[in-house]
Structures are given as structure tokens and as C-alpha cells.
């Protein structure tokens, strides 16, 4: 992959590809992929179209792992590079095995001599720019090339050094001492100054060569301004933006040296690893850390440098943040910059670097960047559906994470459970089964119906493993859930790993026990030894935005359309930094259209809390605690202004937001599109019918949610005098209280239907707990609730309600799983043009991701019949949506229980519920 290698010393050498072939034969699988320049998507298949010459990247798949090369102009180079990476991983030294290959020491020397040749000076090797710049340096520095750049910008060099001494990987100074040694064998043509850590060609370049390279360079402006980031070693000091002023004929490394307080470029070390991050479709290829060479090797301790094989002596100024970013130890101040020479032009390439990079190493940071919402976004805690996900997908985030932490690419293995899909042979071909499906049944064993009427049977599970570069297994995640789509299984597993890592990064001192138990929850196992080895340099750099610090003011009329969990919410927001008394205000972050799914934790908590209180069209304003300075600076546009504001006391974040629109969860959308009146309305009408027939005066709605049933009942003239709702969601109860309250306060005159009502109460509590205040009601309703509980809880509720609450009539409704085929088919038809919608309806196993199960008619009837029998109730079945005599039955199935005998139990006073709202007519 080197362009224009040293012709004089061309020794026949076996290529990395050939070595791979010798070892693996046809088991080695190369896939070359086209990439547009300046885009480096972490995972294949996601290329974002953009202009630019085409480059190639190669993925090499070996039995144990895979590697992905950087991008190259030629396919061939990409393949060789991938092979080389694989060899590195395998620890196979491409030089040692083969006797026809030169001694690496000789190669190192000849490489060095080539670098100081005329040809090299004229070439477009990224390193040759440093040689040309060196010729422009003044005085005694003229022509001196810092050794550190040789080590970093010539991959051949570093791999040769590695083959001589593998320890160079962890000790950048070692590579420099190897070079000095190599240079000593070139005395006469190249002189090395150990003290100055530089090398120089002894005889000047011919003038015409120098002239031609000067001509090569385009005559730029006098100077260029480059934004970089300074990272002080003291964690107390903030990471700050900084502008470098590089004269067009100057050497940028000298300028960096000055900023680091050093005399010249030779004292600057350059990180060998690229510090990269990705925002959407953009990756910098030249982002590196620049820092000061440890004192021990700048002084006269020449022998120490040359002979030390252990790590450098610590001088007490470890730069934890820079070390964390680079993955190796860095001492003293550091500068993060994206500057360098490229294969493309003789001109200096540079990009502004913002503090963005700074939050790009932890999963939530990468996610925030992908959403362009550093302050507002958070890594969601759940992957519900593809359509509701915003920002980079979990799998891509995980790939990025692994790369940034110098780990191997994550390994996904898919398990296909149950047999194939008889109805769609096309799909079958696409399924990739890497581990034989051992006829897994679905998670709780309750979701996939008995079969005949259910079309889609194939479900997927996915496991993900994270390996270190040395192939040590670090993390393993085997989720219990299964999915209809393979991709969803992959995303779900990836997110679990990310969530767990994120927990760790936010609390690095977490005790092992806590880390293990938080892994258990996410089906994750990890190997502490390898885990801590890989992440020993990590540090918490990210905080989150605090909670609101004052009451929220909401403006505008209540449109009644409010989001709750599962809804997709779209807001516009601005976050400003304001000083006390609002004398100064600086915009930090804003978004014109920011969508998020409620209830998944995909935004900071105050945003979600505010959204639940708003209805569409309303605006809100509130203040939040300041997050860590780095986070503000990372988001800010004008960071120097922000910095000056931050120094004044009493700053806070002011947030203004407007709720633009909400989209209901798929379940509601489907039910509304397909049924007229909507299913929810039909359920209410069914309940009203029962109330009328039984002349009920008291009703309790178990799992009342936002009070849709209680609210609708008020529209009908009934015999009801007392209505009660119970739920375990405070948010929903708050909304229910608001809605019912406003309706009841409007209805003081006797003409309204609900005029007979004497009392209404909302309780907070679980319907699996008994509360004697709800004993012996005429009617209990429990509509679309049990499927939100775990199955054993649903059984428990059945027992508690019929033995303890003893309502005269109990109405329980729940989705009919067999009907989903129709709902999903219709969703497909109505959204033919929208491929995302298609995916969503297919990806959601149940109608709503919050459902823990959905029963077939058979399952529901068994539950209800058993229950009725045990507690001396009768039960009859019915439903709404569809018809009883047409397959596959009702969309929503209903069981109506009637108490057979009198309920003469002695009831002890038990108050398990908390009153959250209470109304009575007097």
C-alpha cells in the first residue's frame, strides 16, 4: 500500500495476502466495498451518497474474526491492507517466517535512506510534506525532520520496528530509539541528533528538486487559522478551544510546539492512533494528539532512551483525558488537532476540531453526535422499532465504539428459531443462519401462537461478542428476546451492550458486583480481567444535563393532544446559556425538528418530563442545572464566548421548546385506521352496554391509564354514582386527573349526561394488590391492561380481583394475537410507499412494544375459564372489531365474568393505594 516504495532495495517479499492464503486458504474471504471519499461509515451497507472520487475498503473475514481496512484508491491495496491488519491481529510477523526476506534491521535502514532520497521529497507520501516543510525551517532547524513524525506517518517504518521489537506498540519512544540506531548505520548521508530528536540529510537536495517541490505547492494565503483543542493535564482545568496561526511557509508542528510551551517541533510527540469520531457522514482521517516528549528523553540521558525497553519514567503529570482519547499514556499538556499531509496534494490538509471529539468515546456521546444534539439527546434505553429510532443505529454505534477503543469488530451470531416461513419463500433465502436453530420457542413461550392461523413463525435471536485486538473475549450478550426480523435482533443485542458500557463509563468506580448485576439485567456476561485491561485508561468525561431547577411555564391553549409512552414526539427547542438576571444570553444548541420516542429515555429527563405535561401547539420554558463545562463547549457554536460567560457566576441553561406534533404508537394507528368507530370507542360502548343492563352504580377501572374509559363514560347517561380508576403510572394518572377534572367542572348543570355522578377518585397502586376501599363494586373493568403485565402477574391479578375485590361483574379485554396478521397486512397495504412503515409493522412482534404477551383465543379462554371456575364466577366471551364467527375472531377479545353467589366476606381495612385525585359533587 505504500506508493513508490524504495526501488533500490526491492526485495522479493511475500505479500500479507499470500501469507493469509497460506494459513487459511479459501477460508479467508475478502469483500471489497466502494466508499465515497470523506465518508467512512463504520459498517458496510450504510454508505451515504456524497460526491467525491471513489475509494475502496476491504473487509477480510477469517474463521475467528474479521478486519476492515482503511480506504484506498486501489482495490488491491485495500485487500493487502486488510490482510496486513489480520496478520497483526494474529500476531504473525510477516517477516520472520520467511528466510528469503531481509533482516528487518537492513530493511529499516534502507527505508530510512529512501525517505531522505530526492524521489521521496517529490512524492505525495503524507510524510514527505514534513520533509518539504523542514526545508523551510529557519536557522539551525533548517532541514531537520523530527523523528516522531517518521514513526507516525510511515506505516512501513512502524511495522518494521514492530517486527524488531513488539513493545513499540505500547511505548512510542522505543520506536524512536530504534530509528536513531538505524540512522547511525547511515552516517555520511543522514545525520541524527538524539538530543534534538531529529534527523537531517547531510548533503543538501539539488536546487532544481527543491525548486520543483516549491512549485508543486499552491501559493496559499499568508497564513491559515486552524481550530484545535487544548487538553491541559490537570483535570481541574477545562479543555479549551484554541486557534493556531500557521504561516503558509511555516512548519505547523513548530507552531504546535510553541503552544505546548516547547522550543520546536522535535520535542513534540504525535499520537500514533487516529482519534476519530463520526458525525453524520463525516470522518476526519487526520485527527491526532500532540504532546510533549517526556523530559527524560529530551535531556542528556541518551543511553536511557536507546536502551530502555520498559515504559518511560512517569513525571507525575499524566494527562488522563488525553490518554483516554488516544488509548495510550500521555503526559503533560496535549493538543488535539486535525492537520497533516495527505496522499492527495502537497498542500497542508487541515480541519477544524471542536470539542465534539471529546464526547465521542462513550456510547451516549457517539449517539448524541449522531443526533446533533449533544445536550438534549441521550442513548435510548430500548430499541422498540426501526421507525421510532432516531440517530445512528445501535449496531453502528457499537462498531464505532469498538473502533474507537481499538477492539475487534463486534461478532454477531444469529439464531433462527422455529421453522421457516412457509408463506414467503423469498424471505427464507435471505435468512442467514450462522448457528443452527435448535427449534427455540419464543422468549416466554407465550407469544407465538399454536400456529395454524399465524403466518409468520420465524423469529430471531442474536448474540453479540466483543473481542480485544488479541482476540480475548471481553463481553458477551445473549438476549432472551426473539424478533421477527433478524436486524431487530441485532439492534437489540447491540443496544444492550451499549447501555451496559454506558453505565460503566458514567460511573467508572462502580464496584464489580454492581457491574455484574447490571450486566445480568441486560443478559450480559463479561470477563473482568480482560475488560479492565482494555478500559483501564478510560475516564468519565461526560456528564448529563441536570434536572429543571424551577417550575416549568407552559404557554398556549391546551389542544388535548398529548403524548405518552410509545408516542413519537416532535419538538423544536433552543438551549441558551444565560447569566444571572439574563444580562447575557448565548445560544448553545437548537433543533428545528427534533423527534424522539417517549418512554425510552432518548432525551434528557427534563425534556421528557416537560413533554408529558404539554399538548400539541404549546410552548414551554424552563431552566436546567449546568452540565460539565466540556459538554457545553462541545455543543456551543462560539466556544470562546461561552467560555467567557461561564466564568461569570450564576449561569444556567435556559430551554424553550414547542411541541410540534405527536405520532401515536402503531397499535393505536392501526386500530383507528381499520375500525370505525375505533376499537377504543367500541370497548367503551361495550362497557356502557353492560353498565346499563346491570344498573351499576359503582365502577372501578383497573389500569385506567390516562382515563380514556372514565372520561368517555361521562359522555353517556348512566346510573353510575361512583367511578374509580387505579394505575401504576403517575404520569398517566396526572393526565387522567386533568382531563376528568376539566370535564366535571364544566358539568355542574343537570343537563349533562354525568349529572348523577357523586364521586370520582383516582388511586395510585398496583392492581395485583388489594385495597378494601374498592371492595364489592358493581362493575370492574380492565381494558387492554393484562398484556402489559408479566404473565404470572396477569394470573395473580385474576385471583386477587375475584377473591378480594369481588366485583359483581368484571370485564377484561386484551388483544387477540391471531388477529395481528390482519392488522399488519392492512398496515402494509396502506403504507405501500413507505418502506420504513413496512419494516415497523413486520418488526413489532406484538401490536405494541410494551406488551409482555398477546394471547390467542385459546390461551385467553383457558385463563378466563380456569379463573371463573376457581372463584365461583361464570364467564362469557365476546369482543370488538371483527366478528366471532369469522376467522380469526375479534381484534380485541373480551371476557365478561359474573359473580354467581353473594359476596359475604369480612373485609379488613387495607389501604394499599394512594389517592392522587379526589372529586365529589358536594
List residues binding Mg ion (CB under 5 A): 784
CB of 886 to Mg ion, least distance (A): 23
* Region binding ligand SAH by CB under 6 A among candidate stretches 149-157, 704-712, 881-889, 907-915: 704-712
Segment holding 213, helix H or strand E: helix 207-216
The rounded distance, in Å, linking the Cα atoms of 362 and 504 is: 10
Residue 761 as a binder of ligand SAH (CB under 6 A): the answer is no
Non-local (6+) Cβ contacts of 799 within 8 A are 867, 870, 871
Residue 785 as a binder of ligand SAH (CB under 6 A): the answer is yes
171 binds, among ligand SAH, Mg ion, none (CB under 5 to 8 A by kind): none
Look up residue 64 and give its three cell numbers. Answer: 475467528
The binder of ligand SAH chosen from 323, 708, 824, 840 (CB under 6 A): 708
The binder of ligand SAH chosen from 408, 548, 768, 816 (CB under 6 A): 768
Q: Which C-beta is closer to ligand SAH: that of 491 or that of 612?
A: 612
Residue 700 as a binder of ligand SAH (CB under 6 A): the answer is no
789 binds, among ligand SAH, Mg ion, none (CB under 5 to 8 A by kind): ligand SAH
CB of 727 to ligand SAH, least distance (A): 4
CB of 445 to Mg ion, least distance (A): 20
729 binds, among ligand SAH, Mg ion, none (CB under 5 to 8 A by kind): ligand SAH
The binder of ligand SAH chosen from 143, 703, 798, 888 (CB under 6 A): 703
768 binds, among ligand SAH, Mg ion, none (CB under 5 to 8 A by kind): ligand SAH
Q: What is the DSSP letter of 377?
A: B
Non-local (6+) Cβ contacts of 768 within 8 A are 789, 793, 796, 797, 800
* Region binding ligand SAH by CB under 6 A among candidate stretches 480-488, 685-693, 697-705, 742-750: 697-705
Sign of CA dihedral 202, 203, 207, 213: negative
The rounded distance, in Å, linking the Cα atoms of 364 and 369 is: 9
CB of 767 to ligand SAH, least distance (A): 4
Residue 595 as a binder of ligand SAH (CB under 6 A): the answer is no
The binder of ligand SAH chosen from 711, 727, 771, 818 (CB under 6 A): 727
The rounded distance, in Å, linking the Cα atoms of 802 and 544 is: 47
Q: Which C-beta is closer to Mg ion: that of 241 or that of 566?
A: 566
Q: Which C-beta is closer to Mg ion: that of 784 or that of 818?
A: 784
CB of 861 to ligand SAH, least distance (A): 21
CB of 687 to ligand SAH, least distance (A): 10
172-184 helix and 155-164 helix, angle to the nearest 10 degrees:
90
704 binds, among ligand SAH, Mg ion, none (CB under 5 to 8 A by kind): ligand SAH
Q: Which C-beta is closer to ligand SAH: that of 639 or that of 732?
A: 732
387 binds, among Mg ion, ligand SAH, none (CB under 5 to 8 A by kind): none
Residue 767 as a binder of ligand SAH (CB under 6 A): the answer is yes
Spell out where 486-602 has E strands: 524-526, 553-555, 568-578, 585-597
128-136 helix and 252-259 helix, angle to the nearest 10 degrees:
80
By beta carbon distance, the residue nearest ligand SAH is: 705
* Region binding ligand SAH by CB under 6 A among candidate stretches 211-219, 453-461, 784-792, 837-845: 784-792
Output the CA torsion 495→499→502→504 (10° steps). Answer: -130
The rounded distance, in Å, linking the Cα atoms of 832 and 303 is: 74
By beta carbon distance, the residue nearest Mg ion is: 784
Q: Which C-beta is closer to ligand SAH: that of 645 or that of 783?
A: 783
* Region binding ligand SAH by CB under 6 A among candidate stretches 295-303, 433-441, 450-458, 725-733: 725-733
Residue 784 as a binder of ligand SAH (CB under 6 A): the answer is yes
Lookup result for grid cell 383497573: 702
703 binds, among Mg ion, ligand SAH, none (CB under 5 to 8 A by kind): ligand SAH
264 binds, among ligand SAH, Mg ion, none (CB under 5 to 8 A by kind): none
Q: What is the DSSP letter of 331?
A: B
186 binds, among Mg ion, ligand SAH, none (CB under 5 to 8 A by kind): none
* Region binding ligand SAH by CB under 6 A among candidate stretches 128-136, 179-187, 423-431, 777-785: 777-785
Look up residue 310 and give its three cell numbers. Answer: 520498559
400 binds, among Mg ion, ligand SAH, none (CB under 5 to 8 A by kind): none
Spell out where 65-214 has E strands: 66-72, 145-146, 190-193, 198-201
Number of CB atoms found within 10 A of residue 669's CB = 17
Specify whether the CB–CB gap between 292 and 270 falls below 8 A: no
* Region binding ligand SAH by CB under 6 A among candidate stretches 40-48, 144-152, 380-388, 700-708: 700-708
Sheet holding 553-555, edge to edge: 553-555, 619-624, 652-663, 568-578, 585-597
Q: Which C-beta is closer to ligand SAH: that of 71 or that of 680?
A: 680
Kindly provide the b/e burial profile for residues 87-114, where b requires at least 16 CB atoms within 10 angstroms of the residue's own CB: bbbbebbbbeeeeebbebeebbbbbbbb
Q: Which C-beta is closer to ligand SAH: that of 503 or that of 788?
A: 788
Q: Which C-beta is closer to ligand SAH: that of 356 or that of 851?
A: 851
Strands 198-201 and 568-578, by their bridges, are: unpaired
CB of 857 to Mg ion, least distance (A): 17
CB of 830 to ligand SAH, least distance (A): 23
The binder of ligand SAH chosen from 370, 499, 729, 816 (CB under 6 A): 729
The rounded distance, in Å, linking the Cα atoms of 601 and 578 is: 26
Residue 704 as a binder of ligand SAH (CB under 6 A): the answer is yes
Q: Which C-beta is closer to Mg ion: that of 60 or that of 823?
A: 823
Number of CB atoms found within 10 A of residue 910's CB = 13
482 binds, among ligand SAH, Mg ion, none (CB under 5 to 8 A by kind): none
Look up residue 824 and give its three cell numbers. Answer: 399488519
Q: What is the DSSP letter of 62?
A: -
> What are the CA-CA distances from residue 550 to residues 472, 602, 654 (Å)?
49, 22, 11
DSSP string over 598-631: TTTT-B-HHHHHHHHH--TT-EEEEEE----HHH
Q: Which of 453, 455, 461 is nearest to 477 (CA)?
A: 461
Rounded to a whole number of angstroms, the distance between the first and last alpha carbons of the chain is 87
Interaction residues for ligand SAH, span 883-912 (CB under 6 A): none
CB of 843 to ligand SAH, least distance (A): 21
CB of 535 to Mg ion, least distance (A): 41
The binder of ligand SAH chosen from 789, 802, 864, 880 (CB under 6 A): 789
Residue 788 as a binder of ligand SAH (CB under 6 A): the answer is yes
288 binds, among Mg ion, ligand SAH, none (CB under 5 to 8 A by kind): none
CB of 851 to Mg ion, least distance (A): 6
| CA triple 832-834-839, angle to 5 deg | 95
| CA triple 553-558-562, angle to 5 deg | 95
CB of 232 to ligand SAH, least distance (A): 49
Q: Is 447 exposed, middle or buried (0-12, 13-18, 19+ CB in 10 A)?
A: buried
Specify whether the CB–CB gap between 148 and 268 falls below 8 A: yes
651 binds, among Mg ion, ligand SAH, none (CB under 5 to 8 A by kind): none
Segment holding 914, helix H or strand E: strand 914-920
Residue 766 as a binder of ligand SAH (CB under 6 A): the answer is yes
Spell out where 794-869 has E strands: 809-815
β-bridge mates for residue 911, sequence order: none
Q: Which residues bind ligand SAH (CB under 6 A)?
A: 703-705, 708-709, 726-729, 732, 766-768, 783-785, 788-789
Amino acid at each position: 500500500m505504500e506508493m513508490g516504495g524504495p526501488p533500490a532495495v526491492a526485495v522479493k517479499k511475500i505479500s500479507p495476502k499470500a501469507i493469509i492464503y497460506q494459513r487459511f486458504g479459501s477460508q479467508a474471504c475478502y469483500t471489497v466495498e466502494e466508499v465515497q471519499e470523506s465518508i467512512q461509515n463504520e459498517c458496510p451497507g450504510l454508505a451515504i451518497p456524497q460526491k467525491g472520487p471513489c475509494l475502496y475498503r476491504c473487509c477480510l473475514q477469517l474463521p475467528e474474526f474479521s478486519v476492515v481496512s482503511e480506504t484506498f484508491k486501489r482495490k488491491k491495496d485495500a485487500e493487502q491492507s486488510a490482510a496486513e491488519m489480520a496478520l497483526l491481529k494474529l500476531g504473525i510477523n510477516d517477516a520472520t517466517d520467511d528466510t528469503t526476506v531481509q533482516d528487518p534491521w537492513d530493511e529499516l535502514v534502507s527505508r530510512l535512506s529512501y525517505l531522505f532520497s530526492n524521489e521521496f521529497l517529490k512524492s505525495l507520501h503524507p510524510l514527505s510534506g514534513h520533509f518539504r516543510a523542514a526545508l523551510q525551517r529557519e536557522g539551525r532547524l533548517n532541514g531537520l525532520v523530527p523523528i516522531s513524525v517518521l514513526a507516525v506517518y510511515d506505516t512501513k517504518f512502524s511495522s518494521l520496528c514492530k517486527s524488531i521489537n513488539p513493545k513499540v506498540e505500547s511505548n512510542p519512544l522505543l520506536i524512536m530509539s530504534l530509528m536513531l540506531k538505524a540512522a547511525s548505520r547511515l552516517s555520511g548521508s543522514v545525520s541524527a541528533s538524539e538530543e534534538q530528536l531529529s534527523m537531517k540529510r547531510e548533503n543538501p537536495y539539488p536546487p532544481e528538486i527543491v525548486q520543483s517541490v516549491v512549485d508543486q505547492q499552491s501559493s496559499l494565503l499568508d497564513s491559515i487559522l486552524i481550530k484545535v483543542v487544548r487538553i491541559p493535564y490537570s483535570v481541574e482545568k477545562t479543555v479549551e478551544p484554541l486557534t493556531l496561526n500557521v504561516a503558509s511557509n511555516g512548519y505547523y508542528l513548530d507552531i504546535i510546539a510553541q503552544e505546548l510551551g516547547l522550543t520546536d517541533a522535535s520535542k513534540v510527540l504525535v499520537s500514533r492512533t487516529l482519534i476519530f469520531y463520526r458525525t453524520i457522514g463525516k470522518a476526519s482521517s487526520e485527527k491526532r494528539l500532540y504532546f510533549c516528549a517526556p523530559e527524560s528523553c529530551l535531556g542528556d540521558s541518551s543511553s536511557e532512551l536507546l536502551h530502555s525497553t520498559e515504559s518511560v519514567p512517569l513525571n507525575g503529570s499524566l494527562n488522563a483525558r488525553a490518554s483516554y482519547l488516544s488509548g495510550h499514556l500521555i503526559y503533560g499538556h496535549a493538543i488535539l488537532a486535525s492537520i497533516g499531509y495527505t496522499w492527495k496534494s502537497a498542500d497542508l490538509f487541515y480541519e477544524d476540531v471542536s470539542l465534539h471529539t471529546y464526547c465521542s468515546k462513550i456510547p451516549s456521546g457517539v449517539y448524541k453526535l449522531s443526533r446533533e444534539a449533544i445536550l438534549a439527546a441521550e442513548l435510548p434505553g430500548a430499541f422498540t422499532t426501526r421507525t421510532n429510532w432516531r440517530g445512528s443505529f445501535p449496531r453502528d454505534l457499537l462498531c464505532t465504539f469498538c473502533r474507537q477503543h481499538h477492539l475487534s469488530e463486534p461478532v454477531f451470531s444469529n439464531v433462527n428459531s422455529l421453522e421457516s416461513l412457509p408463506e414467503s419463500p423469498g424471505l427464507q433465502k435471505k435468512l442467514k443462519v450462522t448457528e443452527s436453530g435448535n427449534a427455540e420457542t419464543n422468549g416466554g413461550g407465550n407469544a407465538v401462537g399454536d400456529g395454524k392461523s399465524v403466518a409468520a413463525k420465524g423469529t430471531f435471536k442474536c448474540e453479540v461478542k466483543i473481542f480485544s485486538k488479541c482476540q480475548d473475549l471481553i463481553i458477551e450478550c445473549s438476549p432472551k428476546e426473539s424478533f421477527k426480523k433478524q436486524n431487530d435482533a441485532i439492534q437489540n443485542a447491540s443496544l444492550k451492550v451499549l447501555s451496559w458500557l454506558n453505565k460503566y463509563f458514567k460511573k467508572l468506580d462502580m464496584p464489580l458486583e454492581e457491574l455484574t448485576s447490571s450486566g445480568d439485567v441486560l443478559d450480559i456476561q463479561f470477563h473482568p480481567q480482560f475488560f479492565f485491561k482494555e478500559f483501564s485508561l478510560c475516564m468519565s468525561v461526560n456528564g448529563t444535563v441536570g434536572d429543571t431547577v424551577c417550575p416549568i411555564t407552559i404557554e398556549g391553549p391546551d389542544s388535548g393532544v398529548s403524548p405518552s409512552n410509545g408516542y413519537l414526539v416532535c419538538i423544536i427547542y433552543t438551549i441558551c446559556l444565560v447569566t444571572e438576571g439574563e444580562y447575557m444570553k448565548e445560544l448553545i444548541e437548537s433543533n428545528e425538528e427534533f423527534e424522539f420516542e417517549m418512554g425510552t429515555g432518548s432525551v434528557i429527563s427534563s425534556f421528557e418530563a416537560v413533554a408529558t405535561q404539554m399538548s400539541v401547539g404549546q410552548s414551554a420554558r424552563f431552566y436546567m442545572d449546568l452540565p460539565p463545562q466540556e459538554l457545553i463547549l462541545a455543543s456551543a457554536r462560539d466556544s470562546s464566548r461561552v467560555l467567557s460567560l461561564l466564568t461569570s457566576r450564576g449561569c444556567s441553561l435556559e430551554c424553550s421548546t414547542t411541541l410540534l406534533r405527536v405520532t401515536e404508537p402503531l397499535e393505536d394507528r392501526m386500530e383507528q385506521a381499520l375500525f370505525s368507530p375505533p376499537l377504543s370507542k367500541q370497548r367503551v360502548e361495550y362497557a356502557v352496554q353492560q353498565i346499563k343492563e346491570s344498573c351499576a352504580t359503582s365502577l372501578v377501572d383497573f389500569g385506567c391509564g390516562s382515563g380514556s374509559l372514565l372520561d368517555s363514560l361521562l359522555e353517556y347517561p348512566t346510573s353510575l354514582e361512583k367511578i374509580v380508576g387505579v394505575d401504576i403510572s403517575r404520569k398517566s394518572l396526572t393526565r387522567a386527573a386533568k382531563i376528568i377534572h376539566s370535564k366535571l367542572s364544566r358539568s355542574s348543570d343537570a343537563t349533562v349526561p354525568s349529572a348523577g355522578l357523586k364521586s370520582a377518585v383516582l388511586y395510585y397502586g398496583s392492581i395485583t394488590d388489594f385495597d378494601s376501599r374498592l371492595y364489592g363494586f358493581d362493575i370492574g373493568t380492565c381494558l387492554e391492561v393484562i398484556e402489559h403485565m408479566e404473565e404470572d402477574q396477569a394470573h395473580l391479578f385474576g385471583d386477587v380481583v375475584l377473591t378480594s375485590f369481588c366485583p359483581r361483574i368484571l370485564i377484561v379485554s386484551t388483544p387477540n394475537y391471531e388477529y395481528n396478521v390482519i392488522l399488519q397486512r392492512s398496515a402494509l397495504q396502506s403504507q405501500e410507499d413507505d418502506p420504513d412503515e413496512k419494516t415497523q409493522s413486520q418488526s413489532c412482534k406484538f401490536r405494541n412494544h410494551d406488551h409482555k404477551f398477546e394471547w390467542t383465543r385459546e390461551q385467553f379462554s383457558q385463563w378466563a375459564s380456569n379463573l371463573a371456575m376457581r372463584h365461583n364466577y361464570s364467564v362469557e366471551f365476546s369482543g370488538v372489531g371483527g366478528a366471532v364467527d369469522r376467522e380469526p375472531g375479534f381484534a380485541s377479545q373480551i371476557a365478561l365474568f359474573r359473580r354467581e353467589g353473594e359476596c359475604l366476606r369480612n373485609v379488613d381495612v387495607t389501604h394499599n393505594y394512594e389517592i392522587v385525585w379526589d372529586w365529589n359533587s358536594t
